[in-house]
Amino acid sequence: MPEATTLAYAREMDARDPLRHFRDRFFIPQHNGQESLYLCGNSLGLQPKTAEAALKHELEHWKTHGVEGHFRGDLPWMDYHKFLTEQSAHVVGAMPEEVVVMNTLTTNLHLMMVSFYRPDANRFKIIMEAGAFPSDQYAVESQVKWHGFSPEEAIVEVQPRPGEDTLRTEDIIATIEEHGAQTALVLFGGVNYFTGQLFDMQAITETAHRAGAYAGFDLAHAAGNAHLKLHDWGADFAVWCSYKYLNSGPGGPSGAFVHERHGNNPDLPRFAGWWGHDENERFLMRKGFHPMPGAAGWQLSNAQIFSFAVHKASLDIFYEATMPALRQKSEQLTGYLEKLLQGLPAGRFRIITPADPAARGCQLSIYTEQGGKKLFDTLSEQGVIADWREDNLSGKQLPPGEAGVIRVAPTPLYNTFEEVYRFVELLGAA
């Protein structure tokens, strides 16, 4: 093999990649007539080439059958959510009856907290990571207020230690144990959007349960990225979006996981809708809610067929590629990116994502305190599509555009080792 820092090495790795043919199943955005370096699957995944056919199939189905499309054809709309369960279960490591595709991410997060954040005078706290995605922060704050508690008292955020960028698992565990008697819910992201840190969800879940609290996760940056085992880890619930690593288009539908020990408990409080009602009685139009077993019992309304069709097109690719194989390539791709970045002159930037592959997914967050946005813009002008986020963790009061991270996420379905090499080459030149 050639030296790892050479273009020849990158090309050799691509030639040996057993997943290389999946790249041809996606449309790559163009820049000046050439394929861009698209390293932004952590923000919006690329369009599968099968998405258009999937949409046209449903449009034709609607044109041909009208309302009867709910019951006719190979994919009748009445059951459409069922055509996504096996693939979704594979992506998040669950049993098929533990997952359902419905709504959008923050809506599902609120629905899950209706069931799993049931505070009282003794247990009312929610423990979460500091610097969680703003939507999660807003959802938690509003839920706490809805129940009559003060966010300052009820929300406990776990901070990195002074001088550190990411959280230590032992500090998360210690915080849960410290507040355990007052904690109703432990709610973490699977991967922190800013730092790219992948949390130890099994350890968090086990500690929350020992404390008598529920454990839930927002997997927006973990689903389709990390190798998840929600059922085995015993998480109580999880939610995720589909437009990032799952390549299902802007505003794509969300998924939800409810562990089987809760899914078959009809007495668990929830907000109800008719699509979560017993499907054998749904069209009898009677009063009295009787939930479907499993996660399907949390559905409110019938499926958004067109967005579900695109989501299915992508999920079918994941099911074919398999998450273990994708994760294996991901560790190689991101590890290669890290190695090349470490070969650049020190001082201009640093990687704040954990070095341990088990503590990160695809993404590396490249942090800079000087001219970060200008550097990002220079890369963009040369065909790099990545992501810039202002510093929200360090507490330093620097002018906008100076301090922040360039988030780079080489995704295993469509990114290559040569693309990683060329990105670092451009970064070094910039």
**306 and 407 housed in the same domain:** no
Integer Cα distance of 4 and 337 in angstroms: 11
**249 and 393 housed in the same domain:** no
Integer Cα distance of 224 and 398 in angstroms: 34
Integer Cα distance of 36 and 39 in angstroms: 9
The answer to whether residue 367 scores a pLDDT higher than 80 is yes
The answer to whether residue 397 scores a pLDDT higher than 80 is no
Q: How crowded is residue 217: how many other Cβ atoms within 10 Å of its Cβ?
A: 29
**199 and 113 housed in the same domain:** yes
Name the pLDDT band for 128 (thresholds 50, 70, 90). very high
Q: Is residue 116 part of a domain?
A: yes
For residue range 55-73, list pLDDT tens digits in order. 999 999 999 999 999 999 9
**301 and 422 housed in the same domain:** no
**314 and 345 housed in the same domain:** no
pLDDT at site 244: 98
**26 and 152 housed in the same domain:** no
| CATH, residue 331 | 3.90.1150.10
Its domain, for residue 197, covers 54-321
Domain boundary residue among 304, 321, 338?
Answer: 321
**166 and 90 housed in the same domain:** yes
**343 and 379 housed in the same domain:** yes
Q: Is residue 47 part of a domain?
A: no
Q: Is residue 45 part of a domain?
A: no
Q: What percent of the chain has pLDDT over 70?
A: 98
Q: Is residue 41 part of a domain?
A: no
**134 and 280 housed in the same domain:** yes
Q: Is residue 357 part of a domain?
A: yes
| CATH, residue 221 | 3.40.640.10
Domain boundary residue among 277, 305, 321?
Answer: 321
**302 and 374 housed in the same domain:** no
**100 and 21 housed in the same domain:** no
Number of structural domains (the chain) is: 2
Q: Is residue 139 part of a domain?
A: yes
Name the pLDDT band for 51 (thresholds 50, 70, 90). very high
Name the pLDDT band for 252 (thresholds 50, 70, 90). very high
The mean pLDDT value of the chain amounts to 95
The answer to whether residue 1 scores a pLDDT higher than 70 is no
Give the global pTM. Answer: 0.95
Domain boundary residue among 261, 286, 321?
Answer: 321
**18 and 76 housed in the same domain:** no
For residue range 115-127, list pLDDT tens digits in order. 999 999 999 999 9
